[in-house]
Amino acid sequence: MTYTSAVFLAVLVIALAFFAYTLATRIQYLLLGRPEPRLDHLGRRTAGALVLVLGQKKLFKERVGLIHFFIFWGFIVIAFGTLQIIGEGLHAGFSLPLLGNNQYFYLLKDVLSVVVLVAVLVAAYIRYVVRPSRLLANAEAAVILSLIFALIASELIYSGLAYALTPSHGHSLALVARVIARAALAGGASAGAMRIAKDVLWWLHVVLLFAFLVYIPVSKHMHLIACPVNEFFRNLKPRGAQINRLDLESEEIEEFGVSRVESFTRKQLLDLYACAECGRCQDNCPAYLSGKSLSPKLLMTKLRDHLVERGQTLTRSARASAEEDSPPSMIGDVISQDELWACTTCYSCQEQCPVQNEHVNKIVDMRRNLVLDLGDFPQEAKLVCRNIEKNSNPWGVGSQTRGDWAKEAGVAIAGEGSPTEYLYWVGCAGSFDDRNVKVSQAMAKIMQRAGVEFSVLGTKEKCCGDSVRRMGNEYLFQTLAEANVETLNSLGVTKIVTHCPHCLNTLKNEYPAFGGNFEVIHHTELLAELLRDGRLKLADAAAESRVAYHDSCYLGRYQEEYEAPRDVLRAMPGVTLLEARRNKGKSFCCGAGGGRMWMEEDAGQRVSEMRVSQLLEKAPEVIGVNCPYCLTMLEDGLKGVDGSEAPRVLDLAEMVAARLDSEPGSDGGGRSVSPVAEGKRHELEEQQSVEDAAEILDETTDRRIDNGAV
């Protein structure tokens, strides 16, 4: 064994030992979490991980993602070049099979090396000169970028000197190497000097490589190892079904929700290692952008640092007893309650995250601990929970009035007649909120006109539980879910339509865990189908209308339904569809999700006002919505706009109903019309006329809870 080989081997063993020890320690901390089986659908998991990792799929949502793509693939190709260089240094004449003398490989390597160098410089410029808020200009990033640059530069110069000393056909297309070789020869460098420089560069490259290896598991670049694993174990459930069900009857549970980092699942802890701190979540978080204390990125990094600190304590052999262990409180000392309650569960953080991290379920788990174990949550949230417990709706209005609007509209009540094709799940807002009742009436009129057989539950309907679950009151949610599922199953309901995306998500994605398996669609999906099939005929509009469409979070990101509402708008005569700057997957939340509908915003700017400002950039005459929460919040957000310039906020059902062809004396063939409905037909049509739609904004009042008043 040569001296070079012996020293190389010694350095290699030391570097690998340190790497293995540090990685094993990180894995040991990870295993402190609760097991979570995610070994189903192995083929789907493997294929998806390959696409997401090798294809860098989610990074291309932003133009700067191209930089990471080139760095990623450049490193893979350059790694083979590094193996060739190491082999050459240890044994003269070494050649990698297929690649060692392949001129096209060296051409590709040289091109990608230059691309990576440029990409590193661009990344450094963005981080340290442009300095976007999502990227920290810290020493760790500087170390990583410097190591990458030095690795590539040393490899290029080494290859150039090697080519100058021993020209070979294999390197004939290595453009950069040939340029460096010519420069060295033109400068009059002697063969001896070039050999010394080549040897120095070889060792420099090797040391830099091992330094990078050692640095990975102790830095944010641990994501290079954790990310592929995280992609494989990604959540395959529908997005709206990713909040796990608590076993409230188990006697083995020490706490409800999560108050200690080791109470998270192992997949939730793996997220912390996989986080690349790219800040895409933060750049699209309505709470952060509106000046609240929550940053999804900092949530992950603070929990990761806490996991390391906590892991060191729990794995310390001699002093791991509970008596000596007095860790900082995770909720309070590490993550503040303000951060937890600022979240709107809009899912934008997870939509943008390139490594499949799951932020929302961690926040909900910590809220559960505050609510179920400590009873420590905002007063407005407590009021909503009490109202739902007593009267099955957030406003606390007597539940006996839930079906009043339906009686006036002549809508059949489920169980009081023949079964109907659809159950129309009206929801609390559509039943009790005066403004949203108009949406229910519009939807009833449309279905009656189109001959859709439907009925409603009336007083048998309870709150679906969306808000209370996301506020952390899992006990109340399960009580509501079990009651509603029992009612729906007893009536033989199989198909449900609802105009509330929150109800849609709960009924479709969360009720199956409680025995409720229904085909659930949003009203915009039904409207699109009816218009496409010609079952609805719309009259020409009296005037052109510019409509800025707002994608709601729970129909868009949660259900990935973006086209049905747009198909409805495109089918309306006189409507010009305007796309907001933030739309579809990057649509900005209205601010109502996650229980925020019922809580005041005490910090920063109102999310609803920010969203209204974005929509007003398009100078619309109408803001089109598909969600009762969005309708309420955006109308609230418009209150600061001059009345003469403020657009109307209309649900798409209202817009369709206002354009229906008049067919006097016809009930549309819908079996939902009761015998007393005919006398109310003209009153309903008049209420939903175009003229009434034009006055909706003026009639709107603030319908959010204010000290319990309705």
Q: Could you report the per-residue pLDDT of 225-264, keeping only the tens digit for each?
A: 999 999 999 999 998 999 999 988 887 788 899 999 999 9
Range with the poorest average pLDDT among 120-129, 146-155, 578-587, 660-669: 660-669
Residues 190 and 144 in one domain: yes
Same domain? For 669 and 626 the reply is yes
In terms of domains, do 389 and 265 share one?
Answer: no
Question: What average pLDDT does the segment 166-188 reach?
Answer: 82
Answer yes or no: is 496 within a domain.
Answer: yes
DSSP, residue by residue, 662-699 = P-TT--TT-TTB-TTSGGGHHHHHHHTSHHHHHTHHHH
| pLDDT for res 542 | 66
- For residue 598, being part of any structural domain is answered with yes
Q: What is the pTM of this model?
A: 0.86
Mean pLDDT of 412-430: 93
pLDDT reading at 108 higher than 50? yes
Mean pLDDT over all residues of the chain? Answer: 87
Position 240 in a domain: no
Position 422 in a domain = yes
Measured distance CA(293)–CA(105) in Å, rounded: 50
- For tokens 């309708």, name the residue: 631
How many domains would you assign to the chain?
Answer: 3
Mean pLDDT to the nearest integer, 47-76: 81
The verdict on 660 and 641 lying in the same domain is: yes
pLDDT at 664 over 50: no
Q: Which residues contact 66 (CB under 8 A, 6 or more apart)?
A: 59, 60
Same domain flag for 355 and 487: no
Q: Which residue has the tokens 């009930």?
A: 667
On whether both 422 and 355 belong to a single domain, the answer is: no
Q: Averaged over 195-200, what is the pLDDT?
A: 92
pLDDT digits (tens, 9 = 90+) for 462-520: 999 999 999 999 999 999 999 999 999 999 999 999 999 999 999 999 999 999 999 99
Segments forming the whole domain that contains residue 8: 3-30+62-218
Pairwise CA distance, residues 496 & 262, whole Å: 40
Residue that is last in its domain, among 169, 197, 218: 218
Determine the average pLDDT of the residues in 21-40. 93
Band of the pLDDT at 687, cuts 50, 70, 90? very low
247 inside domain: no
Per the domain annotation, does 307 fall within a domain?
yes
Tell me, yes or no, whether 270 and 340 share the same domain.
Answer: yes
Give the side-chain half-sphere CA count within 13 A for 497.
Answer: 22
Of 218, 241, 270, the position where a domain reaches its end is: 218
Pair (561, 651) in one structural domain: yes
Indicate whether 235 belongs to any domain: no
668 domain residue, yes or no: yes
| N-terminal to C-terminal alpha carbon distance within the chain | 86
Helices (H) and strands (E) counted in the chain, each on its own, are 30, 8
Say whether both 260 and 388 belong to one domain: no
pLDDT of residue 100: 79
> Cβ distance 464 to 503 under 8 Å?
yes
User: Which residues contact residue 476 at a Cβ distance below 8 angstroms, ignoring those fewer than 6 apart?
Assistant: 385, 388, 389, 465, 468
Confidence of residue 701 (pLDDT cuts 50, 70, 90): very low
Give yes or no: residues 442 and 574 share one domain. Answer: yes
Contacts for 193 with CB less than 8 Å, ≥ 6 apart: none
Query: The domain that contains 337 carries what CATH number?
Result: 1.10.1060
355 and 388 both lie in a single domain: no
Residues 212 and 308 grouped into a single domain? no
pLDDT of 395 higher than 50 = yes
